[in-house]
Amino acid sequence: MASGVNVSNPALNFSEKKMDQPSGRSFMQVLCEKYSPENFPYRRGPGMGVHVPATPQGSPMKDRLNLPSVLVLNSCGITCAGDEREIAAFCAHVSELDLSDNKLQDWHEVSKIVSNVPQLEFLNLSSNPLSLSVLERTCAGSFSGVRKLVLNNSKASWETVHTILQELPDLEELFLCLNDYETVSCPSVCCHSLKLLHITDNNLQEWTEIRKLGVMFPSLDTLVLANNHVNAIEEPADSLARLFPNLRSISLHKSGLQSWEDIDKLNSFPKLEEVRLLGIPLLQPYTTEERRKLVVARLPSVSKLNGSVVTDGEREDSERFFIRYYVDVPQEEVPFRIRAPRIIPLLQGQPGLQGVFQDSQAYIKRTLSQKEKRGRILWWYHELITKYGKLEPLAEVDLRPQSSAKVEVHFNDQVEEVSIRLDQTVAELKRQLKTLVQLPTSSMLLYYFDHEAPFGPEEMKYSSRALHSFGIRDGDKIFVESKTK
């Protein structure tokens, strides 16, 4: 039967297989249609050349497909794998595969595709209804070589995620956005390989759920929590350091943080270098300048804030701004940072409280009076005072040009103080003085005298010249004479 197929159109090879496949389009059918020579001509450049794999003898599509190593088959209505022999023949070199926004709802069909792509490292399954089936470990085993997995808007359950983590020993990046998670479920075994986790746009609110991510992924380098509603970082400083010992970057963009204390707690992550904090309730009352400078000053180890590098110059400016910002603030409102070694002695010797600090910083807040706390905390404000000294507020300097001046007008042995606009011309000044000096403008001679200038009066002879160009200031003199003298 295959020998009669017109190979000029590879898609026709599937016409006789439709009876054996689920309704919809197969991966192999879409692959042939999209990457046939007619639809996907040869393209030059690194990684873009034609790939002609060694295909099984008798394949009707031999040498017919131009396949790059990166396949993009999103939004194609794919429901199943298709002929696995054909997938193996044509996809042996493929390293990245985008199957997002299709109609795959059976993990077995996904497994049939992935198991025949041996070089696959990146797989995007976003927006497929895969929550309708259970992922068995035998199926997940076919993903074992994948290093980057995207499951956004797939509604994948935590049980599915756990199965994937067990079977993907080299997984480095995982995307779990838009999955409506309200809680986090920990697996029995943690995943040491994962470096980056995107879990944005879910419904995570309590820090008790976020901390589980540190338990699950102890090697985590980047944690993106944007567009969740985490309202506070309710964790002691030393516990944060243990939970996220390798965290270098965190995004809390559009979270629910409302306290400067939560910002200060970010200093507890020992390797943190990059933070994103745009759109949080805490910063809404501040100006754009205040937001950035106050945050930079509080995070001395962070080298990049909201995507912008923090230079040494900006850090010094921000720390000086911080001092001046709080110079007139009452002492009880001056920021501070808690250090565990200074608090723990306070708890020692009190029955039943020796382990309280490690369990709950909130308890310390309730138990210690403000006076006791301030006697045992490290004041960040005073640290900066020690570094820069107590700075006075910056003088407000108005660099706008002066718009008017009060000058002495001398005429006929008389002196009058007159306020003049400096944006007007010499001709307009003459009209202003016409009534005062009782002379027609055509008969006036004006001389400007700067009392600090050594050269004497300057004739104001150009009618169109603006007054501000003379550098007129309060107290200067203008002499008016008649041309008929």
Other beta carbons within 10 angstroms of residue 15's beta carbon come to 11
Rounded-to-integer distance, Cα 65 and Cα 49, Å: 11
Which residue's structure tokens are 């400083």?
A: 237
**1-50 residue pLDDT tens:** 333 333 344 433 433 444 344 458 999 999 998 887 766 554 444 444 43
Q: Which of 267, 139, 257 is nearest to 207 (CA)?
A: 257
Distance of CA 457 to the CA centre of its chain: 61
pLDDT per residue, tens digit, the chain (485 aa), is 333 333 344 433 433 444 344 458 999 999 998 887 766 554 444 444 434 444 444 344 444 566 899 999 999 999 999 999 999 999 999 999 999 999 999 999 999 999 999 999 999 999 999 998 999 999 999 999 999 999 999 999 999 999 999 999 999 999 999 999 999 999 988 999 999 999 999 999 999 999 999 999 999 999 999 999 999 999 998 899 999 999 999 999 999 999 999 999 999 999 999 999 999 999 999 999 999 999 999 999 999 999 999 999 999 999 999 888 887 655 555 565 444 333 334 334 444 434 433 443 443 444 433 433 333 333 566 677 777 767 766 666 666 778 899 999 999 989 999 999 999 999 999 999 999 999 999 999 999 988 777 777 899 999 999 998 998 989 899 999 998 75
Based on the number of CB atoms within 10 Å of its own CB, is 299 exposed (0-12), middle (13-18) or buried (19 or more)? buried
Q: What is the pLDDT of residue 374?
A: 38
Q: What is the pLDDT of residue 326?
A: 80
Q: What is the pLDDT of residue 327?
A: 74
Q: What is the pLDDT of residue 388?
A: 75
> CB neighbours of 58 closer than 8 A, spacing ≥ 6?
2
Distance of CA 100 to the CA centre of its chain: 24
Q: Which of 138, 42, 30, 133 is nearest to 76 (CA)?
A: 30
Q: What is the pLDDT of residue 342?
A: 35
Are 339 and 237 in contact, with CB atoms under 8 Å apart? yes
Are 466 and 449 in contact, with CB atoms under 8 Å apart? no
Helices 312-325 and 288-298 cross at an angle (nearest 10°) of: 100
Torsional class of 196: left (φ above 0), alpha (ψ -120 to 50), beta (otherwise): beta
For the record, the structure tokens of 8 come out as 């000029």
**399-413 residue pLDDT tens:** 677 889 999 999 998
Q: Which of 480, 484, 472 is nearest to 435 (CA)?
A: 480
| Rg, the chain, Cα only | 37
Are 84 and 116 in contact, with CB atoms under 8 Å apart? yes
Based on the number of CB atoms within 10 Å of its own CB, is 108 exposed (0-12), middle (13-18) or buried (19 or more)? middle
